[in-house]
Amino acid sequence: MFSPLRPIYPVAGIREIEDKLIPNARPPLMERAGRAAAQDAVRLIMNRPGPILIACGPGNNGGDGFVMARQLAQAGREVVVAFAGKVESLPLEAAKAHADYVAAGGSIVSDLPAAPACGWALVVDALFGIGLARRIDGRYADWILTLNAQPVPRMALDVPSGLDADTGQPKGATFRATHTTTFIALKPGLLTNDGPDYCGEVSVQRIDVDAAAWLPASGLAIAPSLFRTLLQPRPRNTHKGVYGDVGILGGNAGMVGAALLAGRAALWLGTGRVYVGLLDDHGPAVDFAHPELMLRRAHLLPERLSALAVGPGLGTQNISAGVLANALRRDMPLLVDADALNLVGTDPALAATLGERQAPTILTPHPAEAGRLLGVSTAQVQADRLCAALEIARRYRAMVVLKGCGSIIGTPDGRWYINTSGHPGMASAGMGDVLSGLVVGLLAQGWPPEKALIAGVHLHGAAADRLAREGIGPVGLSASETIDAARGVFNAWLIEAQREPGPTAGLRPER
């Protein structure tokens, strides 16, 4: 479970690493990439009959494809290579890869052939790599549509052609892979936005390159390894006061459930005490499903809290803005979510107060809320999710998670993480409230804000993944169901952390 950390590099970073390596790389990087892709292909198709179709483009991605074709042919597989470019226009290394393939007895066709009667064993997209900056049209667009229609495993080299490797946005016709073999390290666009829908299963072939030795990564894929040192057993001699007091502010008329979901999530993740301050004057006095929650009117929350979340079901009325303004002035770790974010996005005074906070602050916007915080459209946020998350973090001096497919966590100093847990069943009402409760619960228990946010986001998705494996979802999964599952996953992590002790394993430090 506690796998090595997985760095993520934008295209500029990969290019910088390649530029440092290419002059002296032996064997050349293209040779390594093509060989690794061939090995992945063999694992993918196993005993599937039929030839392998490799569509090669006019650049270095095509060169990877030529090397792959030569390796597969030498291993005894039947290979068909389609190449519509001009050999004399190929980059130097790609031209050599082309020549080596032909010299080894390989043949090339200038257009995609019809599938044989037995069908292709595999189709491979080696058309355009990570540097593509334009929409694909014309012949190559037709090729992609034809490849996408093949009812067989479909493999992309480095990144599916047409997909922006930095943003995860498709550019015109885009290859839809069932498997993507990417080289050296992960790229942001493989993990966020539309990327996962086009990439399928992603494998990283490092091709004997230690990327971090050449360029430290500013981005990482989230995994429990990032917070394993905080997964400590509780001492036997303990009490609820050690595990913090959480406050939840929200629950306006018609939205009380949002605040209750957040409170329950914090409680079930081990918070000592949870207070839920409701704005609804006619709200319940007790949560009969979870009477451990202490419900009261919003203005009666205790002054002394370990951490506070404001926003679940808050509403946007004047009274909501007043409650938020008071929360922003409290000197304690604060999580700001939902309507609290919408109020900040429309009120310059609240935005200024948020940006001036000295205590730790966490913001949890979805793309529309992020747009309001930045004063741009939702589409602009989605066009570059990483840039949007980092700009919010910088502007408001806060930890930020931009929710969505491949949720992105950004820090004020420019570091970032992408989450890979979770599934589409989480597109359900109340999921954000549960996430807020999980994160603020960890904050209250003394987790550093960055680690609390990373762990809470990953745990939330991992809980949904567990439920799906048990046949609960993805379709029809409810937010409340993820609370119990999150508790189960978190305790499993604790147990596993003790089986694989890290360098700082031991009893939980005193608060």
CATH architecture of 236-499: 3-Layer(aba) Sandwich (3.40)
Which contiguous run of DSSP H or E holds residue 344? helix 339-346
pLDDT tens readout for residues 439-480: 999 999 999 999 999 999 999 999 999 999 999 989 999 999
3-class SS at 199?
helix
Range(s) within the chain of domains with CATH label 3.40.1190.20: 236-499
Q: Which of 1-15, 328-342, 395-409 has the lowest mean pLDDT?
A: 1-15
Given a contact cutoff of 8 angstroms between Cβ atoms, the answer to whether 313 and 322 are in contact is no
How does residue 506 score in pLDDT terms, banded at 50, 70 and 90? very low
How does residue 501 score in pLDDT terms, banded at 50, 70 and 90? low
pLDDT tens readout for residues 141-159: 999 999 999 999 999 999 9
Whether pLDDT at 26 is above 70: yes
pLDDT of residue 511: 39
Q: Quick one: which of 388, 457, 404, 62 has its CA closest to 221?
A: 457
Order of strands, sheet of 6-8, starting from the edge strand that comes earlier in the sequence: 6-8, 219-221, 416-418, 408-410, 399-402, 361-363, 334-336, 307-310, 245-250, 273-278, 294-297
Whether pLDDT at 509 is above 50: no
Can you say whether the dihedral through the CA atoms of 177, 182, 188, 191 is positive or negative?
Answer: positive
Given a contact cutoff of 8 angstroms between Cβ atoms, the answer to whether 178 and 157 are in contact is no
Given a contact cutoff of 8 angstroms between Cβ atoms, the answer to whether 192 and 403 are in contact is no
* pTM across the whole model: 0.95
58, 68, 74, 96 from 87: Cα distances, Å: 8, 17, 22, 10
Q: In angstroms, rounded to a whole number, what is the distance separating the alpha carbons of residues 293 and 312?
A: 15
How does residue 502 score in pLDDT terms, banded at 50, 70 and 90? low
3-class SS at 342?
helix
Percent of the chain exceeding pLDDT 90 equals: 92
Can you say whether the dihedral through the CA atoms of 69, 72, 75, 76 is positive or negative?
Answer: negative
Beta bridge partners of 179: 155, 201
Range(s) within the chain of domains with CATH label 3.40.50.10260: 6-221
In this structure, which topology does domain 6-221 adopt according to CATH? Answer: Rossmann fold (3.40.50)
Return mean pLDDT, the chain: 95
pLDDT of residue 505: 38
pLDDT tens readout for residues 300-337: 999 999 999 999 999 999 999 999 999 999 999 999 99
Which tokens hold the place of 284? Answer: 């319940």
Percent of the chain exceeding pLDDT 70 equals: 98
The stretch 376-400 carries a mean pLDDT of 98
Q: Which of 133-142, 191-200, 343-352, 367-376 has the lowest mean pLDDT?
A: 133-142
Q: Which alpha helices (DSSP H) does 75-151 contain, by range?
A: 92-103, 138-148
How does residue 192 score in pLDDT terms, banded at 50, 70 and 90? very high
